[in-house]
Structure 1
């Protein structure tokens, strides 16, 4: 007859303790304390009864988490949220998770996150803007071990994969639209135009080039926020306030401006509110233009003229680049690892809506011509 296997319940009865006590004593649960006498009784009963502690199954080595890290400089601007939406939609399709590092344009935070990467060991890293220059060596070194894609300003020289944005081209498109509508005296409102944020300056430079080609560069008033603005942690209305406050300044200083441009849509929303508060009609008195074609720009009550440069698609493309790099690492073609650099760029498009129209002077001359033509007909 086969002998019944000794259980922890049997030992508990023999030692006069609970089954949970037997389990904790025999499994060496050091975070729970028992008296020496209790431990002795349990161990002795187990030995006498020939009890064998079941061998623990070694946990299988868990597969490396399918994680992609995304560096964002500012999550208060819908532009970055749109980029994240594009990245996440593609990552989710492929079973990847995201870890978002919001640097808030703080060098210390950016450095801290970069130093976390070797320990975090993501499968890929996406920068939604150019890395700070002082960390480019660190980023390029990381790119040798982890696939990295940057959604960057095309004019920056980077030895990594990139979804490129020609900010100068965006500025030129904005300027051409206003020039075609007869605007000759305009204001351009921007966040701080620092060397760290070259993409902003490139957008302004592109705008100025078009006016310069018409001999009107001196008619563009550039209003940029102070550098301290970038040093503060961005609030949800930081860029909106830049547009609002600097528009108030423009209206006090300049009386013949026929259009005000915001470097992005958030700034343009601030411009619109400041004009409304000062009783200016848009676009009857002053035209307004933004850039990025964010969700709010499309709303009927706003109907903001802006530039579409396919932000969500850029996020998806950046994620696709990471996936391709991961696949090339995991597939064996030959003894030589292929080296490839991806560059993707979209052609921006003007979205003309209800906040831009012909400049007042042009409207006046157009109306005058109609009146004169009518008088001539009546005289005949």
Structure 2
């Protein structure tokens, strides 16, 4: 029996990647392949007896105006805000959005990546850094179709990116507390695993600002157990982490005058834990979060936080995708330009009612 010709065989014969073969043979011409590459792939396929599908007409292509978004979770308002920004631009330009919720699972991310040649999106947006296991695969995809990563500033792969310097965010949080006279503080965070390096960057920035003031050792880091990073998150997972870690902190010798949460959801848990133990916020302990989610601006919350323009990042990512699609469809003088976009917003402190000047505190232990 004659062996069935596969895309791997054609790729080997044409001297290109398997992804390129898949895109070319499926007539995915909204991406920038050279005429020579297309001819080599199609000729190799013909020589090996592969039947090339007929080219779709213009009306068929309208069905596939699709942008895929890789998202690690939908339980944190941060990612919901990103999606709102992406979907606003996509809808305006006539594109659909397909969300791949990886739930921070390597197997799920791998499954979704394997689906891309079948789904055939016109663009892909990663709302966080891809898992290190798939960096090479993502970079190869970016050579075939427009792909943008909304990430902590990392030079792991050279693709379009909406960057965020999380060390700067951490320093800004710390600077606000230092300016208010806080010298003994805590930072409460979800697990600081290797695949969540953006969290560690924020913590590092926070600690470094205290060290610059000669206050090394004056920051207590309370991180959730690494095992929790492997559990599919619930809508209240980060709130509960903030609450439980704060209760642990209060159970010992507690002398902190301020607590920072990695994000707003953690900060809400911190506030509730403090108030349950009869601490007043901010009279006894100041609290700061990050992300400036909708809830943080509510009157009863009124959380001091960091604004880093999350919805605008989503809009920018989608704008880049559509700009590159249009550029591929209408090349300049018949030549497809190569361009790499890098956009970064300066984070901004939003002062509300959960932070105030530090008051002198004595080491003491509250009764549970």
TM-score (norm 2): 0.81
Q: How does 1:300-339 map to 2 (within 5 A)?
A: 300-339=299-338
Moved more, 316-325 or 334-343: 334-343
Q: CA deviation at 1:194?
A: 1.1
Report deviation, 1:336: 3.0
Partners of 2:58 and 2:211 in 1: CA distance: 67
Residue equivalent to 2:189: 190
Kindly indicate whether residue 198 of structure 2 is the aligned counterpart of residue 199 of structure 1: yes
Can you list the C-alpha shifts for 1:166-202, whole angstroms capped at 9, x where unaligned? 0000000000000000000001000111110110000
2:108 aligns with 109
Query: What residue number does 2:49 align with?
Result: none
**Contact 2:331–2:337 (8 Å) recurs in 1:** no
Alignment of 1:146-225 (within 5 A): 146-225=145-224
Offset at 1:60? 8.4
- How far apart in 2 are the matches of 1:96 and 1:217? 51
Taking the aligned partners of 1:302 and 1:217, their CA distance within structure 2 comes to 31
Question: What does 1:1-380 correspond to in 2, within 5 Å?
Answer: 62-64=60-62, 65-361=64-360
Superposition deviation, residue 233 in structure 1: 0.6
Cα distance in 2 between the residues matched to 1:123 and 1:155: 25
For these two proteins, the number of residue pairs brought into alignment is 305
> Any idea what the Cα deviations from partners look like across 1:239-279, whole Å, max 9, x if unmatched?
00110000001111232110011000000010011011111
Show the counterpart of 2:44: none
Aligned counterparts of 1:73 and 1:60: Cα–Cα separation in 2: 34
> C-alpha separation between the residues in 2 aligned to 1:334 and 1:282?
62
Q: Secondary structure at the match of 2:242?
A: helix
**SS where residue 99 of structure 2 aligns?**
strand
Native 8 Å contact 2:264 2:305 kept in 1 = yes
Give the structure 1 partner of residue 37 of structure 2.
Answer: none
Cα distance between partner residues in 1 of 2:84 and 2:260:
27
**TM-aligned CA deviation for residue 61 of structure 1:** 5.7
How many Å separate the matches in 2 of 1:219 and 1:237? 30
Correspondence for 2:8: none
Q: 2:48 maps to what in 1?
A: none
Aligned-residue offset at 1:217 = 2.1
Q: Which structure: larger Rg?
A: 1
* Aligned CA distance change for structure 1 residues 309 and 60 (closer, same or farther; 3 Å): closer
Alpha-carbon RMSD across the aligned residues, in angstroms, is 1.4
Q: Distance in 2 between matches of 1:298 and 1:279?
A: 23
SS of alignment partner, residue 218 of structure 1: coil
- Structure 2 alignment gaps of length 5 or more: 1-56, 362-368
List per-residue Cα deviations over 1:46-88 (Å, max 9, x = no partner): xxxxxxxxxxxxx986224210000100100000000000000
Displacement, 1:96? 0.5
Q: What is the TM-score normalised by the length of structure 1?
A: 0.78
Contiguous gaps of at least 5 residues in structure 1 = 1-58, 363-380
**SS of structure 2 residue aligned to 1:260:** strand
| Contact persistence 2:290–2:307 (CA under 8 A) | yes
